[in-house]
Amino acid sequence: MRSLLQSLDLEGRPVGPVPEIPAEDERRLFRHMLRMRLLDQRMLSLQRQGRIGFYGTATGEEAAVTGSAYAARPTDWVFPALRQMGVSLWRGTSIRDIVCQLIGNRGDVLIGRQMPCHFSDRNVHTVAWSSVIGTQLVHAMGAAWAARLSRHDTVCLGYLGDGASSSADFHAAANFAGVFQLPVVFFCQNNQWAISVPLEGQTASESIAVKAMAYGFPGVRVDGNDLLAVVGASREAIDRARAGGGPTLIEAVTFRMGGHSSSDDPTRYRPQEQVAEWERRDPITRFRAYLTAAGRLTDQDVEHWTQELNDEVSVAVAEAEALGPPPIESLFADVYHTMPRHLEEQMRYAIAMGEGAKVEGAFPL
């Protein structure tokens, strides 16, 4: 088994290399993990109330998401899976943007065309993803190839869970990236469960990181609940890719504290003893202990931020729920650069019917 990179022990004490991070950035990183945790709690509550249809939490995985996001440049491209909305939040997406997407209203940057929690936004260089497992990895590889051909210094981050490492798209993306030494980082959040399939039912390999060896590039195992270790591993892999050194597979060993999604009941397949053990490794608790010991964080800071962030979510929800659905004409947008005549006619009919007006003749197909 490959060694696990760590910077902090479970009590937040340094036990390995600590990456250089400005003190104010360390506070921002902690606040962002807290923001993710509170947003998950509030959105799951909204789902249970029937106010949104679906949600997948990243609770327990905040360090993996935040640390990898911090290491990238704003100009790098992100190809997420289910639990990486925190990457977009770090890059400038607002909580209001997230809530609008979950509702699918007229404030949704995706104008209601995606499932809830399937966030993307070109303004923060985040590409749309699908619930078809692993397809985003081929997209990340392809974009990295385009960057290479265009002589850009862009790096692409392709996120996956442990289950996606069993997909054909994982093999295709990794093999092609290795052959052509593309500027892509495959970041695996190994949270131990692919819905109800445990890691030992997913692979006979000693780790996920070791799979990179077959494709000719480095594989790194990092403690995914150790924010500083994730920053260090991600920074090294991204810098290496940007310098022309090719891809890296990072396996961030973490744990999904909640269900696979709001549709899942993990108590039906997951032992409580395992959950309790991972609660001891909570990434927010660990980093809070480190910052507190270093004199960079106080209990008053956490109390103030918790109230501030909860207020931010409340305002975002109120504003998002006050918005109506996307306009009918948005159904016809983004199909052609210049809308052809038959679509213009269909849009006119759709708008008229949507407003309850009488139209002559059948809807033109």
Greatest C-alpha distance within the chain: 75
Q: What is the 3-state secondary structure (H, E, C) of 210-253?
A: HHHHHHCCCEEEEECCCHHHHHHHHHHHHHHHHCCCCCEEEEEE
Catalytic residue among 32, 83, 260, 281: 260
Active site residue 337: no
Sequential DSSP letters for 113-160: -S-TT---BGGGTB----SSTTHHHHHHHHHHHHHHHHT----EEEEE
Active site residue 269: yes
Please give the C-alpha separations between residue 241 and each of 138, 154, 222, 236, in angstroms, as whole numbers.
17, 9, 18, 9
Query: Residues with Cβ < 8 Å from 149, sequence gap 6 or more?
Result: none
CB contact at 8 A, 55 and 96: no
- The span from the CA of 98 to the CA of 113, in Å, is 14
Helix (H, G, I), strand (E, B) or coil at 188: strand
- The span from the CA of 23 to the CA of 266, in Å, is 38
Catalytic residue among 256, 281, 286, 288: 256
Please give the C-alpha separations between residue 30 and each of 93, 223, 233, in angstroms, as whole numbers.
17, 17, 18
Catalytic residue among 13, 73, 122, 269: 269
Active site residue 260: yes
Tell which residue, 27, 6, 24, has the closest CA to residue 298: 27
Residues recognised as catalytic: 256, 260, 269
